[in-house]
Structure 1
C-alpha cells in the first residue's frame, strides 16, 4: 500500500465511521448511563461527563475499527 492508497482508504474509512455516529442511539445510551450513575451531579457536571464519554467511545471505536480495516490483507 502506498501513501496515496492509504490516504484514500483512510478518508473512506473516516466517512463510514462518522456516518455510524450520526444515529441517535449511541448518544441516548450514553445519556442514560450518565443520568443513572451521577444522580447528585449538577447539569453542568452531567454535560461534561456525557461529552467525555462520547469522545472516549468514539476514540475507542475509531482505533478498534481502524486496526481491523487496515490490518486486513490486501
Structure 2
C-alpha cells in the first residue's frame, strides 16, 4: 500500500531529488514551488558572485602590495 503524500511533500521531494521516473500530471510541482526554486537559485548565484568579486579584489590588493 502506497503512502499518501501531501502537495507540499511532493513539491519538496521534486525540488530536492533527481527524477528517476516521469511525473504524471498530478505530481507536477505548483508554479509557486518552481518560482521559489528559481528565486533561491538566483540568491545563491548572487552570493557566489559577490564572494568571487571580493576574492578577486583581495588578490589584486595583495599583488599590488607585493609589487609596490
TM-score (normalised: structure 1): 0.41
Greater relative contact order (Cα < 8 A, sep 6+) = 1
Q: Say which structure is richer in helix.
A: 1
TM-score (normalised: structure 2): 0.44
Higher Rg of the two aligned structures: 2
